Structure 1
Amino acid sequence: MKLNRIGVFFSFVLCFITTFTNAQDITLRQAYDLMLSKNGNVKASNFEVKEMEEEHKATKGLRLPTVSVSGTYMHLDKDITADLNEQKNTVGGLLGITDPTAVLGDWDFTLQEKNLGFATANVSMPIYAGGKINAANKASEIKLALSETKHKIKEDELTINLINYFFKLKLAQEAVQLRQEVYNVILLHNNQANKFFENGIIPEVETLNAKVALSNANRELLAAKKDVDLATTAVQNLIGVNSISGLNSEFTKPTIVKPLQEFTNDMLSDNEQLKIIEKNHELAKVGVQVENSDYFPKVGVSGKYILWKDNLPLVDTKWFVGVGVEWELFNGFQREHKIKASKYKISQVEELDKQARLNLTTYTEKLYNTMQKELEQYESLNADEALANRLKFMRTRAFEEGTGTSLEVVDATLKLSEIKLHKIKALYEYNVAYGELMVLTGKTAAFLNQN
């Protein structure tokens, strides 16, 4: 009974250790999700999109009235007066008044005391701006879409880097495993060679070959482990985590998913760089509309309401409204040249679009050819691996029977390991090229779900 409890306890501990060990194992999809949530460049790009969202909302406010409150309190050096006593005396003479001051009083009036103040509520609203407000809103909408597309491009760039780093780590880990297998085989062979030498079956020179091969295998194993450490650091930094213990995703076996023309069509219809150019083309057209709007008058309404006043006897009204019109008839041909400049901008973007399509078509073919080449390499290496396995088996048996040399066994072992390593590299190159092609054609999710 006690043994059963101990067994249950150790089973529980083993299960816990296994769960904890695998807790940090991640798939490519999980690494991608972590990168989007933790990578600083992604966060910065996302804040840029939010900034443009607020700018777009602010531009919408151009259609709405502006309401403000203003106030002024002033102190003049002296009162503003009007001395009409000379005119009073003239009037008194005409009326035959001998003492005008006694009859008519003092005609020295204070029009405005030196201390005065007022506060107003102000409203203004554009009615017509020649289409400039509509164009500004359209431009703002395009700029927001541009920022979103640029954010997607930043995500795509980092995703391509992630695919490269992730599979480079996978390559390094499998290389370590392969180097370890080679080391174990050569170690076993070295031990056998030493025993054969001790029993007088083989000369000492055969043991020297085995020892040199063992030293080389150990050196390559240590170097491969360093490659794993470096690749692990690159992945961790990109996805924003402190540690990962393993990868759950496997290499996708090479295959040609669809013809080149279909990949090219996807690239020309879904690539984010082309969408950037398309949005810039729309923005350039809006720029022409903005410049054309300067030919038309600008009309707006405004109004004020006097909330408070102090010592303003001449201002007896409480509010007023008005309509303003401004029409610039001539400005030194500035409008004409600005319109031409805007049209050149459209032509510039159109030429960029043509060249970008040519470049993307060429790059698509390059990635596709890389996939094809690595597929051919992989299939050829599969056949070579079967032959190398057979050769290693025969060399090992010959050595054990005393008809072969240690050097032949080591050579067969290294040839087999070299073929396996080339197979892993072919898988790496294929997956990186395939992943980049899928990301650039807008099929990121489909690629990630395959891994």
Structure 2
Amino acid sequence: MRFLAAGALVLFFSGAAMGEERSLGLRQAIELALENNSLLQAAHYEQSAAESGVAISRSRYLPKITFEERAAVTNSPTKAFMMRLDEGRFSLAGDLNHPPTTGDFQTSLTLEQPLFDVGIVREKAVAEQEYVSRSHAFEQRRQEVAFQVYGAYLAVQRARAYVSVVEKAVSDAREHQRLAAVRNAAGVGLKFDELRIGTFLAEIEQQKITAVNDLALARLRLGQVIGLPAGTAPDIADTVTAYDLMLDGKELVETALSGRKDLQELEAQLAKSEAGVSLARGSYWPTVYAGASYQMNDRDVPLGRDNDSWMLGANLRWELFDGLRRNSEVSRAQAARNAVGAYLAERRRDAVLQVNEAMLRREEAIKRLEVAQRAVKDAEEMVRLVNKRYENALATTVETLDAQTALNRARAQLVDNEAGYALANARVYHSAGLFLKEVVR
């Protein structure tokens, strides 16, 4: 059902008319990305391949049954002798040293069953840990894709808010231009003021063109991250806000060290390396296999039966010396295990740093947001006072435009800081491995 729903959404977007907006909620966008993102699909295929590897290793416990049909013609004394013997046609008549051309059709059914082979057990352990590792890698990729969608979704929201800010700035600039024209017509203003405000308006209109284009690009990037058809630019239906943290810094660090999927992936790789060392050491042990076969031989036709035979047996094989090859294989496996252990230790330290950094950046974002909110209020009051003075011919055009520029800048900074706070808050959960659990709920 999930794949059908995802496919329906893809068709929904691909079939949309050009210029017709389609909106997605945050949860809907993330769910769609989790079904259609190419990198996530690649991780899923890797997980499936590892699962098949486990099945392959388990198959070695089962008996191997082989059917074989052979045909041969020879005048070799020994081989001709054995063919006749297998066919039940041996006699003392004839020249054993110079036999005539002899043919044989041999049909055989062979069974081989491992009784003791340490390598089978330990290869299975390696394959199982590889599957665990790929499973954690898949879950980590899900976290990363969801966080990318969140960031892209937030980028659309920020771009849309910035367009609103610029549109308000254009509206304010046009009002200033109207007042300047009225003052000039009444003979109490200067043509310079009207021209200066016109130049200011042109600058703001250029910013609006860029802002609208940035919004279109942000929507295209959102469509790409989600995995929609190329050129699809979905709109957003939700307003993303920051969630309150439910855990303190210490709890987040503990959660990251115990629950982050990238750390669990490396832990599984370490367990796989340990199993690899055991596998290398297992080559010192002997192997014991049981075997059985049934054979039919015929002189004239395949699958014929001039004579038949069977055999049961067991085989013990113990390699006593191999030129120190196994010793080197054990050393190589141990070095690989130590390398993974070192990577894991460094990754754990890095995870702690990431959580602490995310917490500090979140506190920074909170303070920056508070400052930006105060700045907008101050700038709005400043513009109100300057406009009042300008109407009474107590302020110049330059002062009016400076105040308006400060207000525009404060509003734009507030938009950035609001988005930055939401992203910083989400990054805290992402660094602790809790993004899908806490943010997308």
2:283 aligned counterpart, secondary structure: helix
Paired AA for residue 50 in structure 1: S
Aligned with 2:105: secondary structure?
strand
Name the residue aligned to 2:387.
396
Q: Which residue pairs with 1:164 in the alignment? A: 151
CA distance in 2, matches of 1:180, 1:391: 20
Residue 303, structure 1, aligned to residue 303, structure 2: no
Structure 1 range deviating more: 283-292 or 330-339: 330-339
The Cα of 1:112 is off from its aligned counterpart by 8.2
Are the structure 2 counterparts of residues 54 and 346 from structure 1 closer, same or farther at C-alpha, using a change threshold of 3 Å? closer
Aligned length: 407
SS state at 2:69 partner? strand
State how far apart, in whole Å, the 2-side matches of 1:159 and 1:402 are. Answer: 56
Instruction: Report Cα offsets for 1:184-213 as digits up to 9, x if no partner.
Output: 111122112112211112122221221121
Please name the residue that 1:439 is paired with.
Answer: 430
- State the partner residue of 2:14: none
Question: By how many angstroms is 1:279 displaced?
Answer: 0.8
- 1:343 is matched with which residue? 334
Which of 369, 373, 391 is matched with 2:364 structurally? 373
* Structure 2 residue 125 is the aligned partner of structure 1 residue 138: yes
Aligned to 2:114: 126
Partners in 2 of 1:173 and 1:211 — Cα distance?
25
Cα distance change, pair 81–371 in 1 and its aligned pair in 2 (3 A): closer
Which residue identity is paired with 1:372? Answer: E
One-letter identity of the residue aligned with 2:134? S
* Offset of residue 261 of structure 1: 1.9
Q: Of 269, 277, 296, which residue of structure 1 is paired with 2:258?
A: 269
Aligned pair in 2 of structure 1 residues 204, 438: CA closer, same or farther (>3 Å)?
same
Native 8 Å contact 1:281 1:346 kept in 2: yes
Higher deviation after alignment, 283-292 or 154-163: 154-163
Question: Given the superposition, is the C-alpha separation of residues 134 and 409 from structure 1 closer, same or farther in structure 2, using an over 3 Å criterion?
Answer: same
Task: Answer yes or no: is 1:56 the counterpart of 2:42.
Answer: no
What percentage of aligned pairs have identical amino acids?
15
Q: In 2, are the aligned partners of 1:255 and 1:375 still within 8 Å (CA)?
A: no
Determine if the alignment matches structure 1 residue 294 to structure 2 residue 283.
yes
Shift of 1:409: 2.5
Equivalent in the alignment of 1:416: 407
The answer on whether the counterparts of 1:260 and 1:365 sit within 8 Å (CA) in structure 2 is yes
Hey, what does 2:185 align to over in structure 1? Answer: 198
Give the SS at the match of 2:323. Answer: coil
Contact 1:271 1:441 in 2 (8 A): yes
- After TM superposition, list the pairs within 5 Å mapping 1:69-80 onto structure 2: 69-77=67-75
Helix, strand or coil at the partner of 1:108: coil
Contact 1:152 1:272 in 2 (8 A): yes
Distance 1:107 1:252, change over 3 A: closer
Structure 1 unaligned spans of 5+: 1-19, 83-105
One-letter amino acid matched to 1:108: G
Q: Which residue of 2 aligns with 1:28?
A: 26
Distance in 2 of aligned mates of 1:217 and 1:299: 84
Report the structure number with the largest CA radius of gyration.
Answer: 1
**Bigger shift: 434-443 or 265-274?**
434-443
Structure-2 change in CA distance of 1:448 and 1:307 (3 Å) = farther
Task: State how far apart, in whole Å, the 1-side matches of 2:34 and 2:46 are.
Answer: 15
The one-letter code matched in structure 2 to 1:120 is: S
Structure 2's unaligned 5+ residue stretches are 1-17, 82-91
| Residue 381 of structure 1, CA deviation | 1.7
| Aligned partners of 1:73 and 1:118 also within 8 Å | yes
Judging changes above 3 Å, is the alpha-carbon distance between structure 1 residues 159 and 309 closer, same or farther for their aligned structure 2 residues?
A: same
8 Å contact from structure 2 (residues 376, 414) kept in 1: no
The AA in structure 2 aligned to 1:35 is A
Q: Which residue of 1 aligns with 2:12?
A: none
TM-score (norm 2): 0.85
Residues 252 and 431 of structure 1 are in contact (CA less than 8 Å); yes or no, is this contact kept in structure 2? yes
Mark the CA change 1:171 to 1:294 in structure 2 (over 3 Å): closer, same or farther. same
Farther off after superposition, 166-175 or 63-72: 166-175
Post-superposition shift, 1:265?
A: 1.6
- CA distance in 2 between counterparts of 1:301 and 1:252 reads 68
Within 5 Å, which residues of 2 pair with 1:322-337? 322-337=313-328
Q: Cα offset for 1:406?
A: 2.7
Q: CA deviation at 1:50?
A: 1.4
In structure 2, distance between residues paired with 1:23 and 1:328: 71
RMSD of aligned residue pairs (Cα, Å): 2.7
Match of 1:45 in 2: 43
User: Which residues of 2 match residues 79-90 of structure 1 at below 5 A?
Assistant: none
| Mapped partners of 1:245, 1:332: distance in 2 | 65
**1:326-345: CA deviation from partner (whole Å, max 9, x where unpaired):** 01112223333332332333
Quick check: 1:225 aligned with 2:216? no
